[in-house]
Amino acid sequence: MTLATVYLALGANLGDRAANLRRALIALAPAFAVQAVSPVYETEPAYVLDQPRFLNMACRTTTGLAPLEALHELKRIEAELGRLPGVRFGPRLIDLDLLLYDDLILDTPEFTVPHPRLHERPFVLAPLADIAPDVLHPSLGQTIATLRDKLGDTRSLLSHFNL
């Protein structure tokens, strides 16, 4: 079986946010083998501003799942951990986003890889750059660290939470 390297973003802003992230990391197995985990950042909400602050992190995993199977497994884990359908970009117990799947570029009605808003989100790029600064964004041809730096000062993201 060929394993793909997959980068994931994890976020939570309801309930015990740190516990939700810990539970999600554990629930990734056996479908995803976690290889590296970023620091945890506390961030202001984006898009829908009237909601609690988020805890965000990223991880590098390997998986034998095909891209769409990987997406479905992440959605299954979210549901298992208690995520309910809600307002887009609204509050959630857990959010698992597939950011990069090897160097694959895929754009279908159901699924886009790399994540289509990866390059504009400091709450994703800051933790991702901690574990994958030199990884190239497949469609933009720039490193994750370069994309993070283009967003300006990300020091306002607080990284004082430990899992």
Active site residues: 83, 92, 95, 97
3-state class percentages of the chain: helix first, strand second, coil last, to nearest 5: 30, 30, 45
Q: Which residues lie across from 54 on neighbouring strands? A: 43
Q: Pairing relation of β-strands 106-107 and 40-43? A: unpaired
Q: Which H or E element spans position 80? A: helix 67-80
Closest listed residue to residue 7, CA positions, set 117, 97, 108: 97
φ/ψ of residue 83, rounded to 5: -70, 135
> How many Cβ atoms sit within 10 Å of the Cβ of residue 96?
23
Tokens of 111: 């699924």
